[in-house]
Amino acid sequence: LMNDSEVTPFSVPGYACQRRCTLENHNAVLTDALSLLAENAELSDEDGRGVAFRRAAAVLKALPSAVTNMSQLTGLPCLGGHSLRVIKDILENGTSSEVESTKESERFKALKVLTGIFGVGSKTADRWIREGIHNLQQLRDSGQTLNRAQQAGLEHYDDIKQPVSLAEAEAIRGIVGRAVASVSPEAQIVLTGGFRRGKLTGHDVDFLITHPEEGSEVGLMPKLVSWLESRVSCHLQNVLLICDVIFLLMFALFCRFSLCCFIDKQTRRWRAVRVDLVVSPISQFAFALLGWTGSKLFERELRRWAGHEKGMSLSSHALYDNKQGRYIRASSEEEIFAHLGLEFIPPNERNA
Ligand code: TTP
Ligand code: MN
Ligand code: MN
Ligand code: MN
């Protein structure tokens, strides 16, 4: 009788919020392929298919070692026929023809470039593609009307595409932290998003701001933005002498999403970075912290778990018990997991 470890099937729980998933990924080739198909589905407005691929990728990310044989996947959750075909193709041929042809398709390439512009979503990109616009030059030449966010996004396209390093994130944290302290001395600021999960780079920097006294956070965001703007313009001449990095300008878009520019003292170059600023009242802080730490799939799965398994509605503001008809308070992430009947998963293990 043989006990071949190669065919011992893996086993993982069904919801990503029940699994511990660090940044260590033993199946990057497979998860990159599934993530690309997810991205293509999302860009084509097929969210259902997108989520299915994201869930399949998340299951593979959670495995303790590399998949080498399809039989190891028997009984795993969230692996639909389509995802299994892609995995099989890669295990047998090294690549998936569907993934390769998607990657090379003109439509996918155009959607990626156009939605890579800050402020441009898949619907706008799709409309432009139907009008024959496939790249940035064609967009510039087309005379399309762009809103303020899109104009900034187009202008800073290359900077925004370039990943933000942890060092840059910490430098920006220092500046935003000083700005917050100036407009509201007791306010607190936390780095959320991917950097809180232990990532060393990100596509943006996410901050959550709160005030220990309920209500004192009201009006903080506009004050913060105007402080940054005024401060920066008066120091403009001395900018390179003052600090390692400094904001040149910062404007709130869609009330909480911002784009900021600063000078990198080492390279003496302007650099634009996306910054997401969120202000939360202290009573909602734990929910906002949990909701803005991610990953996106982890968040989605938490809400699915809450709804389907617990009859509750979770958002980045509150937890509501649908049966009892009442809100459930929590002052820490640990309490929220406990209310949801889940084992606490620390941020660095939420990389689903
Ligand atoms: P992102 O900044 O998009 O992702 P990230 O920080 O995980 O990855 P990256 O390093 O590439 O920046 O989102 C951070 C979290 O914020 C993520 O869990 C989703 C969440 N979020 C929104 O993006 N929009 C919302 O409206 C809410 C409530 C949460
Ligand atoms: Mn982020
Ligand atoms: Mn963000
Ligand atoms: Mn909201």
Q: List all residues 6 or more positions away from 305 whose beta carbon is below 8 Å from its beta carbon.
A: 15, 17, 18, 340, 342
- Please report where in the chains the tokens 């060393």 appear, as a residue: 200
Q: Pick the residue with more confidence: 256 or 76?
A: 76
CB 272 within 8 A of CB 149: no
> Atom 25 (ligand 1): residue with closest C-alpha?
292
Q: Please name the helix (run of DSSP H) or strand (run of DSSP E) that holds residue 183, with its range, or none.
A: helix 166-183
Burial label, 94 (beta-carbon count in 10 A; 0-12, 13-18, 19+) = exposed
Q: For ligand 1, say whether the CB of 301 is within 6 Å of any of its atoms.
A: no
Rounded CA-CA distance 155/136 in Å is 10
Summarize the confidence of residues 64-87 as an average pLDDT: 97
Cis peptide before 142 (omega within 30 of 0): no
Q: What is the pLDDT of residues 274-289, one digit of tens each?
A: 888 899 999 999 999 9
Quick check: ipTM above 0.90? yes
Give catalytic residue positions.
204, 206, 276
Instruction: Tell me how far the alpha carbon of residue 49 is from its chain's centroid.
Output: 19
Q: What is the pLDDT of residues 290-310, one digit of tens each?
A: 999 999 999 999 999 999 999
CB 304 within 8 A of CB 314: no
Structure tokens at 297: 């799939």
In the predicted structure, residue 245 carries a pLDDT above the cut 60:
no
Q: Please name the helix (run of DSSP H) or strand (run of DSSP E) that holds residue 83, with its range, or none.
A: helix 81-93
Summarize the confidence of residues 193-201 as an average pLDDT: 98
Rounded CA-CA distance 34/50 in Å is 9
Summarize the confidence of residues 169-182 as an average pLDDT: 87
Q: For ligand 1, say whether the CB of 207 is within 6 Å of any of its atoms.
A: no
Structure tokens at 160: 């925004």
For residue 255, the CA-to-ligand 4 centroid distance in Å is 11
Structure tokens at 142: 């087309």
| Residues forming beta bridges with residue 277, ordered by sequence position | 207
193 CA: nearest ligand 1 atom: 6
